[in-house]
């Protein structure tokens, strides 16, 4: 059964929008999300600290009882923080100060030795390491060669498909790349832009171990509450057949 890890960055985004208030506290969401049945919590500690702060990460490590995933760029400062906090998984992602959110996958062919060293450091700290990559065979192969434990396949092209035929093509590409990753003994997670409307087909794939979903859940929570928003997503992921 596939897992759901709920990204709570946007709770921190709401807090930081005012700049001078201590609420809402991302850590307060953990108990609600876990009691609704989610399998984990995901946060992204960005270089510009635009939403999640180091303090949040320290608190989350103390409170999360399921599975804590930390997304970071492969830079020394945040690598050192990750090794200190020891989340269950670190997902290495690309990062640009001009982007609203992570959009493309990490290019594993750029500075491969540096990335491999980052993977080794994290694994020596007993942290499982994943790479956020495009559904591209070169990237999947590189992830295996660099020693990653998992890949998180970027679903951006799938969720932004122009029409049904394009969506089917993107779905089949993810399906093929997930199977290829499994063949190379990599675990497979997926994420980026997944919602209640587009996740069902991917949830039918037995090769996917975890769905990382945040914005759509937090947006729905504004109207029906966080507990029910998580429950609704879990219902689709765990029972994808209509």
Count other Cβ atoms within 10 Å, centred on residue 241. Answer: 6
Phi then psi dihedrals of residue 188, to 5 deg: -125, 120
* Residue 25 known to be catalytic: no
Which of 10, 67, 71, 210 is labelled catalytic?
Answer: 71
Is 44 a catalytic site residue? Answer: yes
Closest C-alpha to 203, from 178, 229, 228: 178
16: annotated active-site residue:
no
Per annotation, catalytic residue among 10, 152, 192, 210: 192
Assess contact for 87 and 127: CB atoms under 8 A.
yes
**DSSP state, residue 161:** -
Q: Contact 227/35 with Cβ under 8 angstroms?
A: yes
Pair 237, 203: CB distance under 8 Å: yes
- 10, 44, 51, 67: which is the annotated catalytic residue? 44
- Active-site positions? 44, 71, 192
């Amino acid at each position: 059964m596939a897992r759901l890890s709920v990204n709570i960055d946007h709770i921190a985004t709401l807090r930081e929008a005012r700049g001078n208030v201590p609420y809402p506290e991302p850590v307060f969401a953990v108990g609600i999300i876990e009691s609704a049945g989610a399998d984990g919590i995901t946060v992204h500690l960005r270089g510009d600290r635009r939403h999640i702060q180091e303090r949040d990460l320290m608190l989350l490590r103390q409170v999360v009882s399921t599975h804590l995933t930390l997304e970071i760029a492969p830079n020394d400062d945040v690598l050192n923080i990750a090794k200190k906090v020891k989340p269950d998984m670190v997902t290495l992602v690309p990062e640009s100060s001009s982007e609203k959110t992570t959009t493309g996958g990490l290019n594993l062919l750029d500075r491969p030795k540096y990335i491999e060293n980052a993977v080794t450091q994290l694994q020596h700290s007993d942290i499982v390491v994943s790479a956020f990559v495009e559904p591209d065979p070169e990237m999947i192969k590189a992830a295996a060669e660099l020693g990653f434990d998992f890949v998180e396949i970027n679903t951006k092209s799938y969720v932004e498909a122009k029409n049904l035929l394009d969506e089917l093509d993107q779905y089949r590409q993810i399906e093929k790349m997930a199977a290829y990753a499994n063949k190379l003994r990599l675990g497979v997670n997926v994420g980026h832009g997944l919602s209640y409307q587009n996740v069902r087909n991917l949830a039918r794939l037995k090769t996917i171990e975890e769905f990382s979903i945040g914005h759509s859940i937090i947006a729905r929570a504004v109207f029906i509450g966080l507990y029910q928003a998580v429950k609704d997503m879990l219902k689709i992921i765990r029972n994808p057949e209509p």
